[in-house]
Amino acid sequence: MRITLIKGEQRLQTGIIQQSLSGFYDILVDGQIVRTRARGNFRKRGIKPVVGDRVEFEDGYLLKVLPRDNQLVRPMVANIDTAVVVTAVKEPNFAANLLDRQLVALESQGIKPILFFSKTDLLTDAEADQLAPTIAGYEQIGYDVVYDRQDPFKATNLERLLTLLAGQTVTMMGQTGAGKSTLLNHLAPELELATGEISQALQRGKHTTRKISLLQVGEALIADTPGFSSYEDFKMTVQELPQYFPEMLALAPNCKFRGCLHLQEPGCAVKPAVESGIIMASRYENYQQFHTLIQNQKPRY
């Protein structure tokens, strides 16, 4: 798709915010970009347009943000169908807790996650063997997992990923230095996105992506987004949290009590599944931690 910059037109149009920069909003319409500014009353009304928003505009001015299907806070994007969670297994080291935080956020917004494990070629054989049950565990839950021990960017993996993303509005997400821009460069080399090395002192990557933009990659629109070193987005209640662990949701009908939180309740079907290895212990431990975090959060008014 060829994208050119054109001036706003005189008639009411609809499009998708492709990029937000310094008070301007670039709107994607039929393969072209229309640069607009938001009306002054947006700020007064507390409306903050974000990348992915479907909007109405006219004569170079953004007039209305249409209702959102969903919205993420990190990254700040809206109306996303699928998220590729780029997860490094080394440099920075694999963090199951961070991965599960992202998965809960996506599940709560009805966004399909795809797990892409990067830097797998840096693993020793012993480290790869240790990680293998975790990879299998996420596949067993039902998540699409893209993983290759020797080459994370193997051609067949990239082809599979492009097929999974076709026709979707997608966001890349993952911690700084995980390799989001590197993955995008392999999917679409013509983008020539900047990539950065890991700071050995801080075990954090350099922020090479500083703004969010929707990019045409194959048959998908993909948001390249800044990374993060931590992730907290627990806006759900403790009663809602179990719904965002698919493996627990599947077993919940077998619990003795409706609304079981899978903690101390008698007749819980989840705890025996953890003990028998049907549910990953790391997932259950993270669930317990998230439950406590939500319970201890101060009310938001």
Does 206 show up as a binding residue in the annotation? no
Does 288 show up as a binding residue in the annotation? no
Rounded Cα distance, 225 and 13, in Å: 27
Does 69 show up as a binding residue in the annotation? no
The two structure tokens encoding residue 3:
């994208």
Rounded Cα distance, 74 and 105, in Å: 9
Does 179 show up as a binding residue in the annotation? yes
Does 178 show up as a binding residue in the annotation? yes
Residue type, 295: Q
Does 52 show up as a binding residue in the annotation? no
Does 120 show up as a binding residue in the annotation? yes
Does 209 show up as a binding residue in the annotation? no
Helices H / strands E in the chain, number of each: 8, 16
Q: Is the dihedral of CA 134, 136, 140, 143 positive or negative?
A: positive
Does 230 show up as a binding residue in the annotation? no
Rounded Cα distance, 268 and 195, in Å: 47
Does 142 show up as a binding residue in the annotation? no
Structural element, H or E, at residue 114:
strand 112-118
Does 46 show up as a binding residue in the annotation? no
H-state helical runs in 116-260: 125-141, 155-165, 180-187, 246-251
Are 69 and 53 in contact by the 8 Å Cβ rule? The answer is: no
Rounded Cα distance, 17 and 169, in Å: 12
Does 271 show up as a binding residue in the annotation? no
> Which residues make up each annotated binding site for GTP?
118-121, 174-182
Q: Which residues are annotated as a binding site for Zn(2+)?
A: 255, 260, 262, 268
Annotated binding-site members: 118-121, 174-182, 255, 260, 262, 268
